[in-house]
Structure 1
Amino acid sequence: MASVGDAVDVTRFSPITEFDKAGIVWILALLGGVYTLLTLFVRWFIKRDTFGSDDWTFVGTTLFAVGAFLPTYIALSRGLAKSESILSERTLITIGRIGRPYLTSQIFFILTIALAKCSVILLIRRLFSLDMESHRRWCHIMLVVVSVWGLASVLALSIDCGPRQVLGIGGSFCSNQYLRWQLVGAFDAITELLTFCLSFALIHRLQMKLHLRVRVILAFVFRVPLIAIAILNIHLVQGWTTSLDPGVAIAAPLVCQLVELAYSLISATIPNLKSFLMSFDTAWMMEVGTSSKPIPYSNQTPPEEYQLDSFPNSPRHAPGLSGLRIDPEHLTLRPESLEHIAAVQHPASERTGSREGSFASTNSRERIIRCEHRWKIQYGQQPQDGS
């Protein structure tokens, strides 16, 4: 006679027992899918007006993540993460129906991790100003390294590894299965560490307060746990490949990979949060407009001077603050009712290419952390009309 506990197990969507760990994988896979879509929505909401190459790469990353979760759902519904002893004889004969979607999910898992790294690298490159060529060159090198790692990892896991052998059913694994994952995981951790090191270049020789430097590093320090997760996955794969019941043991590395997948997307979005972006932008998100009209109050003005826009009379709002309320004290330059006009002058001997590079960023909404130029500032005071 069946016990009450057995009756309850039958009614569950995926019972978790000693011989069936699919329920644990289901929980992580469903949560990971939800967090992945929420992360994309959050990123779009924050940067919907300033979408760049890093954001579009993240959109592709999310699509690949969905491509990793969906085959996992299919494989779980067909018997993944269950012991051979509870699988039907028909399932064991057609074990490829489980192995094919599982192998597909592994390929998309690697590609998603690689694209998430590329998204972070592109964000770091976006923060460098155009004249910081050496730093941007390192970003390009890292993009190539990560791309090569992603493609090589996909080939390493799929070559000479069929749908049946990839699961290790019957104790028959793909040749050098553990070695493959060792190489994939090791380079995963190394590339993640190198990507994190790029963030230190953002504050190198940069004149800013200590708490802002710390905030910049904290924006990318959330990627560091991925190094530990990659190393943990190698250890769990070793336990799976040496287990007497690989059908159940596969649940541990699979859960670890799902956690890495979801957390990789979340940590790639954290640096885009507004509190961190305020640290990146030395202008504190303010867009200062410029105009090239001549300055009327001086006949001694050199031909290469450009007048900056004046502050409006109303102290409640300033141009380019995107609705932020600013304390009027920070906008009042003097108590007198005077119009403040500023002129920016630079030596005529500067190279034309450099000057054009500066013009290219005029009214730009890019988050440029630093742009080193030498400027001579002249300002004059002129009574307002009617005063």
Structure 2
Amino acid sequence: MGSYNSDGFYAFSPVTANDRAGILYVATILSLLFSVITLLVRWHIQRRTFGLDFWVIVAATIVGLGQYAAVFVGLDNYALGKAVSLMSESDQLNAARSAIASICLFIIANALSKCSVIFFMKRLFSTDNRTARILCNSLLGLVAVWTLASILALTITCGPSTKFALQDRCSGQITRWSLVATFDSLFEIAIFLLSIVLVVPLQMTREIKLSVVFAFSFRLIVAMFAIIHVYYVSQWSDSSDPGIATVYSLLWQQVELGYALMAATIPTLRSFVRAYEKAMGWESSYYIRNTNTRTANSTYQLSTMNKSRHEEEGVFGLQRETTCDKHPLRPDRPNYKAQIYGPGLNDLPENMPRRTKSNSSGGSEEPIIRKDVEIQVSSEAAH
């Protein structure tokens, strides 16, 4: 594989006029590392609140690993990245198979990254919003159709025997890739516009809305990479040496896939969604701390009041104040009791504080946007 150059330095994959495999090695390794590291970061963020969006991005990363593996197999064993003149007939055939397999896996992984973002949007916005659910589900269906249609369009009449052929090389590939990239870009724009449509009607500050929309705007860069990718596919289609030209189309394929996997995690970062969660009445940090400990018997005791210090409560997004007045107006301090009631909890003992669940949540453990809470406060007169 490697060799020593004229200066005596060892090069793992020398880049020459007839061998550009080293460029593809670097792009693939970096894309692989960044996508895996980003998944680990997301696991750390959501490690106790795994939702469907997390498992979908895990599936996307696994498919992406298959795409990286297909490229590495072609580079290591079948002279992928070299000029056609340096390939044997069997190498051309096997390298073409590796390239086609990587393209199919790239389409699937890219589509799954979009689905992960849509599932996250559905988790944020659609708990009590029927319109949001319909829009998200419709977009998921369209992405699924696009995935299947793209794989069929790019592989029909473009088999391994024609991938590196000097004549009759996969006819119509520019048109096909242009359609695939157009819908790829349109889906990214649709995800961004959908975030605006779902956030604007909410009653919260403009800064919070902009923060949420900004988090989803990072997906638009995927559309830019898709356009660049198509440009280099067109260069491959018209090139006199498809072996060398394939390197650059596959290179931008690695860039687009790696960024698509990373951009799916950006909206989940707490710096973007924490203010939104508070405005909606639930706090992810509270949910994480109490997922494994809260039960139906949980009680919440109100403390006494304090004018000088505020303590933020994680329960229902409320705030409480505690006081330590040195000179109270009455000789004895009144005792305060609070009880919280809600539908579906009537079977609990009468004297037990209760928590409510959303009527539309179906008992789900997901963080929800709105909760109907009735608080009854009674006081006992001092004797």
- TM (norm. structure 1) is 0.79
Amino acid corresponding to residue 107 of structure 1 in structure 2: C
> What SS does structure 2 have at the residue aligned with 1:331?
strand
Counting only pairs closer than 5 Å after superposition, residues 185-204 of structure 1 correspond to structure 2 as 185-204=181-200
Counting only pairs closer than 5 Å after superposition, residues 129-148 of structure 1 correspond to structure 2 as 129-148=126-145
How much is the aligned-residue C-alpha RMSD, in angstroms?
Answer: 3.5
Structure 1 distance, partners of 2:118, 2:97, is: 32
Structure 2 distance, partners of 1:292, 1:5, is: 71
Aligned residue number for residue 371 of structure 1:
370
Amino acid corresponding to residue 165 of structure 1 in structure 2: T
> What SS does structure 1 have at the residue aligned with 2:370?
coil
Aligned residue number for residue 81 of structure 2:
81
Q: 1:383 to 1:201 in 2, by over 3 A?
A: farther
Q: Does structure 1 conserve the Cα–Cα contact (< 8 Å) formed by 2:215 and 2:267?
A: yes
Q: Does structure 2 conserve the Cα–Cα contact (< 8 Å) formed by 1:193 and 1:224?
A: yes
1:50 pairs with 2:63: no
- Per-residue displacement from partner, 1:220-271 (whole Å, max 9, x unpaired)? 1110101111111111211121122221112222111101101011000111
Q: Does structure 2 conserve the Cα–Cα contact (< 8 Å) formed by 1:169 and 1:247?
A: no
Please state how far the C-alpha of 1:6 moved relative to its aligned partner: 3.7
Structure 1 distance, partners of 2:57, 2:132, is: 22
Structure 2 distance, partners of 1:108, 1:216, is: 30
Aligned residue number for residue 114 of structure 2:
117
Q: 1:372 to 1:345 in 2, by over 3 A?
A: closer
- Per-residue displacement from partner, 1:181-236 (whole Å, max 9, x unpaired)? 11111111111111221111331211111211111011111101011111111112
Please state how far the C-alpha of 1:21 moved relative to its aligned partner: 1.5
Q: What percent identity do the matched residue pairs reach?
A: 32
Structure 1 distance, partners of 2:154, 2:45, is: 36
1:265 pairs with 2:248: no
Greater shift in the superposed pair: 278-287 or 34-43: 278-287
- Per-residue displacement from partner, 1:303-353 (whole Å, max 9, x unpaired)? xxxx983336799987758xxxxxxxx63255566535265689xxxxxxx
Q: Does structure 1 conserve the Cα–Cα contact (< 8 Å) formed by 2:200 and 2:209?
A: no
Greater shift in the superposed pair: 57-66 or 268-277: 268-277
Structure 1 distance, partners of 2:237, 2:207, is: 47
Q: 1:345 to 1:178 in 2, by over 3 A?
A: closer
Structure 2 distance, partners of 1:360, 1:181, is: 43
Structure 1 distance, partners of 2:200, 2:295, is: 32
Q: Does structure 2 conserve the Cα–Cα contact (< 8 Å) formed by 1:171 and 1:244?
A: no
Amino acid corresponding to residue 73 of structure 1 in structure 2: F
Structure 1 unaligned spans of 5+: 294-306, 322-329, 347-355
Q: Does structure 2 conserve the Cα–Cα contact (< 8 Å) formed by 1:189 and 1:226?
A: yes
Structure 2 unaligned spans of 5+: 326-332, 344-355
Q: State the aligned residue count.
A: 347
1:332 pairs with 2:321: yes
- Per-residue displacement from partner, 1:128-158 (whole Å, max 9, x unpaired)? 2433111111100000000000111111111
Amino acid corresponding to residue 247 of structure 1 in structure 2: G
Structure 2 distance, partners of 1:7, 1:127, is: 58
Counting only pairs closer than 5 Å after superposition, residues 19-34 of structure 1 correspond to structure 2 as 19-34=18-33
Structure 2 distance, partners of 1:312, 1:98, is: 70
Aligned residue number for residue 105 of structure 1:
102
Please state how far the C-alpha of 1:276 moved relative to its aligned partner: 2.1
Q: 1:292 to 1:238 in 2, by over 3 A?
A: closer
1:96 pairs with 2:84: no
1:227 pairs with 2:218: no
Please state how far the C-alpha of 1:69 moved relative to its aligned partner: 0.3
Q: 1:215 to 1:379 in 2, by over 3 A?
A: same
Q: 1:339 to 1:171 in 2, by over 3 A?
A: farther
Q: Does structure 1 conserve the Cα–Cα contact (< 8 Å) formed by 2:358 and 2:371?
A: no
Structure 2 distance, partners of 1:345, 1:366, is: 18
Q: Does structure 2 conserve the Cα–Cα contact (< 8 Å) formed by 1:96 and 1:163?
A: yes
1:162 pairs with 2:151: no
> What SS does structure 2 have at the residue aligned with 1:205?
coil
Structure 2 distance, partners of 1:146, 1:345, is: 39
Structure 1 distance, partners of 2:8, 2:230, is: 36
Match of 1:309 among 300, 304, 308: 300
Q: Does structure 2 conserve the Cα–Cα contact (< 8 Å) formed by 1:291 and 1:309?
A: no
1:246 pairs with 2:237: no
